Amino acid sequence: MSELDPEVLNGVIALLVEVQGDWEFDGEIGAQTRFVADLGLESLEIVVLSTMVQQQYGKLPFPAFFDEIGQRAEAERDVSVAELVNFVSANRLTTAHEV
């Protein structure tokens, strides 16, 4: 795993903690927390989360991200907080240069 941007990691975790009460999860959220296996999120909740992330970090290429995840073997489709943080970190820099 590459080094995570601590600012983005803290921001994503803060978003998750903010809405954590809506889910049946009361554990600690960290970089290795997975959205489906650990948090029990369903697809609509993941879409809502992606919208929240974009409100904080700007427009991101989530369709391509979700497409890449969909290409994986079914057992490997769950996304960790770290994976989302890496996606946001890589793409917010790209997006900022396109503006």
- Tell me the torsion sign for CA atoms 51, 76, 22, 26: negative
3-state helix vs strand vs coil in the chain, percent to 5: 65, 0, 35
Identify the CA nearest to 91 among candidates 66, 62, 55, 50.
62
Q: Does domain 6-98 bear CATH number 1.10.1200.10?
A: yes
> What is the domain partition of the chain in residue ranges?
6-98
Q: What percent of the chain has pLDDT over 90?
A: 67
Mean pLDDT of the chain: 88
pLDDT of residue 25: 76
Q: What is the pTM of this model?
A: 0.87
Enter the tokens of residue 23.
């889910």
Express each pLDDT in 29-63 by its tens digit. Answer: 999 999 999 998 888 889 989 999 999 999 999 99
Q: Is 3 helix (H, G, I), strand (E, B) or coil?
A: coil
Length of the chain: 99
